[in-house]
Structure 1
Amino acid sequence: MLYPIAVLKSNDDKVAHAILFPDVQNGATCCDELSDMHQMAHEFIDLHFEGLAEDGEPIPLPQDFNKHLANPEYDGCMWAWIDVDLSKYDMRTHKVNITLPQFLITKIDEKVNAHKSLYKSRSNYLAQLAMADLA
């Protein structure tokens, strides 16, 4: 999904360039070099959207670009777009079929049963391990 970013270029070498996200409430970051604007924009959007997904909040979708062009808040800005893969912020659960040795399944179940306050189920245990490993 393409998201527009408005870049307010600084004429002062000591002041960073502002990167504004019109479709993200209070969305802004900055970069020292314009060549870094896409990287900084992606880092901001990834962190922000991950937080929204973890909190169960909806991910904002891009609005009609003409709406942003007509907004005087963005007068004097340069425009660019970043491509965002929204599927990685989809926190809905999906059933998957995995194959594990019976011995391992038994050990996992023993661990889950012994630590009910930590793990809700076998799936929850495996998801927590995966999240910790991928973090």
Structure 2
Amino acid sequence: MKYRIAIAPGTEENPDYGVIVPDLPGCYSQGDDLDDAVTKAKASVELWIEGMLEEGLPVQQPSDPSELAARPEFAGVTWASVDVDLAKIEAKLER
């Protein structure tokens, strides 16, 4: 599954890049630069999904990227995607 992530640049006070995963409520991270932000976002998405599966809750499917980009709260962000292998997460939980 590919989840879109919204990356916002840091400020002078906090130069880290902030990341929000719009399809997964409460799933966010940050990174020192864009590459670090994407890497940490993938780890956050995997942990978020793992937690949902452990609780027996459904995992939301990724939204259409154009729908996310049209939302006003995401104006000015940089978009990227993280690819998550749901089968690997499920196999990890079965051990």
Could you tell me the TM-score, scaled by structure 2's length?
A: 0.85
Q: Which residue of 2 aligns with 1:4?
A: 4
Give secondary structure in 2 for the equivalent of 1:79. Answer: strand
Give the structure, 1 or 2, with the largest relative contact order (CA under 8 Å, sep 6 or more): 2
Give secondary structure in 2 for the equivalent of 1:39. Answer: helix
In proportion to residue count, which structure has more strand?
2
For residues 60-101 of structure 1, what are the alpha-carbon distances to aligned partners after superposition, in whole Å with 9 as ceiling and x for unaligned?
A: 11011111111011011000011111113447xxxxxxxxxx
Asked if the contact 2:9–2:15 (Cα under 8 Å) also holds between the matched residues in 1, the reply is no
Q: Which residue of 2 aligns with 1:115?
A: none
Q: Which residue of 2 aligns with 1:45?
A: 45
The structure having more radius of gyration, on CA atoms, is: 1
For residues 24-79 of structure 1, what are the alpha-carbon distances to aligned partners after superposition, in whole Å with 9 as ceiling and x for unaligned?
A: 11221111222202210111011111111100011111011111111011011000
Q: Which residue of 2 aligns with 1:21?
A: 21
- 1:57-76 equivalences under 5 Å are 57-76=57-76
Q: Which residue of 1 aligns with 2:33?
A: 33
Corresponding pairs, count: 93
What percent of counterpart residues are identical? 31
Task: Please provide the CA RMSD for this pair.
Answer: 1.8
Give how far 1:13 is off: 6.4
